[in-house]
Amino acid sequence: MTPSSSIASRVACIELNAPPVNSLGIALRRHIVDSVRAADADPQVAAIVLIGTEKAFSAGADVSEFGTPLQFETPMLRDVIAALESCSKPVVAAISGVALGGGLELALGCHARVALASARLGTPEIQLGLIPGSGATQKLPRLVGAERALAMMLTGQPLTADELTASGLLDRVVPQDLWAAASALALELAQADFPLSRARDRSVNADAARAAVSEALARFNARQRAQPAYQALLDAVQASALPFDAGMQRERELFLALMQSPEAAALRYQFRVQRESGKLPPSLSAESRDFDRVAVIGAGTMGSGIAIAALEAGLQVCLLEQSGEALARGSARISEHFVARVKAGKVDAAKAESLQGRLTATLDWSALQSVDVVIEAVFEDLAVKQSVFRQIDAHARADAVLATNTSYLDIDAIASVTSRPQDVLGLHFFSPANVMKLLEVVQGRDSAPDVIATGMALGRELKKTPILCGNAFGFIGNRIYNAYRKQCEFMLEDGAWPEDVDRALTDFGFAMGPFAVADLSGLDIAWRMRQAGAATRDPRERYVHILDRLCEMGRMGRKTQAGYYTYTDGKASPATDEVVRGVIAQASAARGIERSPLSAETIQRRALLAMVNEAALLFSEGVAHRAGDIDVVLVNGYGFPSWVGGPVHWARTQPRDLLEQELDRLVAANGFGAVRATPAMLDHLLG
Ligand code: T1G
């Protein structure tokens, strides 16, 4: 219970109530400072509690103020915190919901902290290309030790108050009655005869700080090395061993420099476009249909992954297969997943059992009568999917939403075999479906707005980032990835080896290079698709035969211990072997190309330009509804470095003339049939 009056039993309650998440914009900052000063001056008041809403104590600095003068309008967050610290009466933070970034720093400025066990506390600044800028880099090491502080700030992932109980960050953790616990502690502090304790007055063990910093540095991965915020974080924590004000000064300098960095600008952009991407255009505004029972048809890797995601979201799941054997394999895969989660301590056994208890496995199509959403996840073949959809049409309830999980196929061709194409949509999950965040929600010609709204809502329920796409070959992601991969194959013919391309692109920040990815997913899938497309391919088109030759030699990728690379005990050879080099050199010779090495920069620019060109083409066709959606897809599903923002954001940072000239050259070299996005299309894409 929170008192509605501002003073109860001599404890002043300062409520933070700036929906939706109490971000610390100028109005809220003023409110806090004014309220603290008033309470400090009020002789009726003995102590103060700062309390937020059920959803949020505070989600931190107002990101929408970044880059505007409002961010620096006083009182700035530092001033607010200084007002708390200099208050002559104890101030207690009562934390429910989230306390993130500046929100946590606000709490660290209080004399004590009480949290609901379910509250989540953390410093996500690193995900915005920043370090905490209002004291967390100095105060967390003082409260929880440098090692734990660094771990929290490097991951940016919040921890629950429950997990932080004994950390030193929180004075009390309570299951409920937050106000009662916080006001009781506030009065205790007011009545105690020792001085008020402040995080800033503690000291840091300099040796421990140095050790934690050098250990973290030694463990840096490529993504951390590529982003300046990680090194800055180490520098700031190192400075926590200095006197407090000197450390704060260092934090400030580092923070302000990062604010200007291109990486932080790109990550802020991603923050914005990720949130926009969930919103449907007005033409599609409709209520989602209700759903809590889902059927997944096909218990292969994809189907079981989708079933796991749905079970973990608390939905009832019916897994349907053709053969008892396949069903048993799928069910076993699902229970192995939950066993592993329990073993890893990610979920407790009772919870896992109750989630898994919502699964039924069946061979009986009539089970579809009771489900709200059907997700077909069978083999990627149009005829196979159409025959499954005829069965679905015969058995599913009249108001059920019917989804096909496909990466390339035409949703309309699948919907057309049913009597209700308006209820059909595509849901393109990424593998492993229970892990990958991206979900392409594909709108067919006839998909009804409430069916699309249901697809988006289901995506959110499964904790995914759903992106609306038009029904075109490869949708957004695979269409752009194909253009990129094709360009990388051209570069092999032109003079690069697979490891040159992969290294240049991982150096750029991609999670993996395209040839390592191809080996991992298996070259045979692409080979089959190429064979299927051979009949319609124009012989004048620039077509790179390297992958086909490798497959003909039985080199299908990791699964055969050889593809572009050779694998020993699952580890790739650092360079391609002579056999592969021979195949590549032959391909170059057959096209009359005299091979010459490509610089890392050339490789990076050609790969990115190919993406930008395709992005402009598909955007002009309406396959993506917002340019930002394209960047969300590439970052969340294809390992594009988030700190570069995505291909569209990257293109916006390039001089336009150069972009046009390079595109001219690139598309000319791509040969017959290559389509260049027009300047008008680029204008449309880049805004
Ligand atoms: N500033 C402004 N708006 C914010 C915001 C923020 N910090 N956090 C969320 N929103 C908006 C968001 O845009 C959306 O708006 C709505 O709130 C709901 O968000 C000095 C440098 C709190 C866990 O990085 O992690 O503090 O779309 O859809 O899934 O060191 O939002 O409705 O118009 O995400 O329930 C650090 C980021 C800032 C927190 C809620 N803080 N936010 O998740 O809803 S840097 C963060 C989140 C900083 C100091 C510094 C999540 C959430 P709209 P949502 P949700």
One fold for 282-473 and 478-686: no
* Cβ–Cβ < 8 Å for 396, 402: yes
Rounded-to-integer distance, Cα 333 and Cα 301, Å: 8
Residues 209-264: pLDDT tens digits?
999 999 999 999 988 999 999 999 999 999 999 999 999 999 999 999 999 999 99
Ligand 1 residue neighbourhood (C-beta within 6 Å): 20-21, 23, 56, 59-64, 77, 98, 100-102, 105, 124-125, 128, 130, 132-134, 275
DSSP 127: G
Q: 88: part of which helix (H) or strand (E)?
A: none
Q: What burial class does residue 334 get, using C-beta atoms within 10 Å of its C-beta: 0-12 exposed, 13-18 middle, 19+ buried? A: buried
Tokens found for residue 140: 């967390």
* Ligand 1: residue whose CA is nearest its atom 36: 101
Q: What burial class does residue 347 get, using C-beta atoms within 10 Å of its C-beta: 0-12 exposed, 13-18 middle, 19+ buried? A: middle
Helix (H, G, I), strand (E, B) or coil at 93: strand
Candidates 114, 90, 50; CA nearest to 186 is 90
Which candidate in 54, 65, 73, 105 is catalytic? 105
Tokens found for residue 300: 């292969």
CA 180–ligand 1 middle distance (angstroms): 28
CA 464–ligand 1 middle distance (angstroms): 17
Tokens found for residue 643: 């700190």
* Cβ–Cβ < 8 Å for 76, 108: no
Mean pLDDT computed over 138-159 = 97
* Cβ–Cβ < 8 Å for 289, 647: no
Long-range residue pairs from 364-368, CB within 8 A, at least 24 positions apart, any chain: 364/320, 365/320, 365/391, 365/394, 365/395, 366/395, 367/295, 367/318, 367/320, 368/295, 368/318, 368/320, 368/392, 368/395, 368/396, 368/397, 368/400
Check residue 419 and give its pLDDT: 98
Check residue 4 and give its pLDDT: 41
Rounded-to-integer distance, Cα 245 and Cα 296, Å: 58
Rounded-to-integer distance, Cα 108 and Cα 57, Å: 12
Long-range residue pairs from 38-41, CB within 8 A, at least 24 positions apart, any chain: 39/12, 39/14, 39/87, 39/89, 40/87, 40/88, 40/89
**CA quadruple 346, 352, 358, 362: dihedral positive or negative?**
positive
* Ligand 1: residue whose CA is nearest its atom 18: 20
Give me the CATH topology for the region 11-259.
Answer: 2-enoyl-CoA Hydratase; Chain A, domain 1 (3.90.226)
Phi, psi of 316 (to 5 degrees): -80, 130
Between 56 and 537, the more confident residue is 56
Q: How confident is the model at residue 7 (pLDDT cuts 50, 70, 90)?
A: low
The number of angstroms, rounded, from the C-alpha of 347 to the middle of its chain's C-alpha atoms is 21
Distances (CA, A) of 390 to 140, 300, 376, 395, 646: 60, 20, 12, 9, 39
* Cβ–Cβ < 8 Å for 496, 542: no
Rounded-to-integer distance, Cα 544 and Cα 104, Å: 54
Atom from ligand 1 closest to the CA of residue 133: 30
Residues 469-491: pLDDT tens digits?
999 999 999 999 999 999 999 99
Residues 269-315: pLDDT tens digits?
999 999 999 899 888 889 999 999 999 999 999 999 999 999 999 99
Whether the per-residue pLDDT at 5 is higher than 60: the answer is no
CA 21–ligand 1 middle distance (angstroms): 7
Mean pLDDT computed over 422-440 = 96
Mean pLDDT computed over 70-80 = 94
CA 303–ligand 1 middle distance (angstroms): 33
Mean pLDDT computed over 409-424 = 98
Whether the per-residue pLDDT at 421 is higher than 70: the answer is yes
Candidates 681, 600, 602, 599; CA nearest to 648 is 681
Instruction: List, in sequence order, every residue forming a beta bridge with 293; answer none if it has no partner.
Output: 316
**With b meaning 16 or more CB within 10 Å and e meaning fewer, what string describes 246-265?**
ebbebbeebbeebbebebbb
Distances (CA, A) of 68 to 65, 72, 73, 145, 315: 5, 8, 9, 35, 43
* Ligand 1: residue whose CA is nearest its atom 40: 21
Q: What percent of the chain is predicted at pLDDT more than 70?
A: 99
**Ranges 638-642, 655-659, 671-675: which has the least confidence:** 671-675
* Ligand 1: residue whose CA is nearest its atom 54: 275
Q: Which residue matches tokens 């240049």?
A: 504
Q: How confident is the model at residue 1 (pLDDT cuts 50, 70, 90)?
A: very low
Q: How confident is the model at residue 146 (pLDDT cuts 50, 70, 90)?
A: very high
Rounded-to-integer distance, Cα 516 and Cα 532, Å: 24
Whether the per-residue pLDDT at 551 is higher than 70: the answer is yes
Tokens found for residue 631: 């960047």
* Cβ–Cβ < 8 Å for 147, 216: no
Whether the per-residue pLDDT at 446 is higher than 60: the answer is yes
* Ligand 1: residue whose CA is nearest its atom 12: 275
Check residue 681 and give its pLDDT: 98
Helix (H, G, I), strand (E, B) or coil at 11: strand
Phi, psi of 564 (to 5 degrees): -65, -40
Whether the per-residue pLDDT at 6 is higher than 80: the answer is no
Rounded-to-integer distance, Cα 476 and Cα 628, Å: 12
* Cβ–Cβ < 8 Å for 316, 294: yes
Tokens found for residue 580: 């592969």
Whether the per-residue pLDDT at 84 is higher than 50: the answer is yes
CA 59–ligand 1 middle distance (angstroms): 6
CA 61–ligand 1 middle distance (angstroms): 9
CATH class, domain 478-686, is mainly alpha
- Asked if omega into 282 is within 30° of 0 (cis), the reply is no
Question: Is the domain covering 282-473 a CATH 3.40.50.11810 domain?
Answer: no
Tokens found for residue 414: 């699948």
Per this entry, what is the length of the chain? 687
Q: Does the annotation mark 125 as catalytic?
A: yes
* Ligand 1: residue whose CA is nearest its atom 55: 21
What ipTM goes with this model?
Answer: 0.98
- CB proximity list for 128: less than 8 A, separation 6 or greater: 63, 264, 267, 268, 271
CA 52–ligand 1 middle distance (angstroms): 15
Q: What burial class does residue 147 get, using C-beta atoms within 10 Å of its C-beta: 0-12 exposed, 13-18 middle, 19+ buried? A: middle
Q: How confident is the model at residue 8 (pLDDT cuts 50, 70, 90)?
A: low
**Residue 589 burial (CB count, 10 A):** 12
In the chain, where the domains are located? 11-259, 282-473, 478-686
Ligand 1 pocket test, candidate residues 21, 23, 104, most atoms within 8 A of CB = 21
**Residue 346 burial (CB count, 10 A):** 11
Ranges of beta strands (E only) in 381-534 are 401-404, 424-429, 438-443, 465-470
- DSSP-assigned states of every residue in 540-556: TB----HHHHHHHTT--
Ranges of beta strands (E only) in 293-431 are 293-297, 316-320, 359-362, 373-376, 401-404, 424-429
* Cβ–Cβ < 8 Å for 434, 312: yes
Which candidate in 54, 65, 73, 125 is catalytic? 125
What is the pTM assigned to this prediction? 0.91
Atom from ligand 1 closest to the CA of residue 136: 30
Ligand 1 pocket test, candidate residues 22, 63, 64, most atoms within 8 A of CB = 63
Atom from ligand 1 closest to the CA of residue 272: 13
Tokens found for residue 103: 């929100």
CA 143-145-147 angle, to 5 degrees, is 145
DSSP 98: E
Check residue 67 and give its pLDDT: 83
Q: What percent of the chain is predicted at pLDDT more than 90?
A: 90
Rounded-to-integer distance, Cα 54 and Cα 57, Å: 8
Whether the per-residue pLDDT at 570 is higher than 90: the answer is no
Atom from ligand 1 closest to the CA of residue 56: 22
Mean pLDDT of the chain: 95
Rounded-to-integer distance, Cα 626 and Cα 638, Å: 18
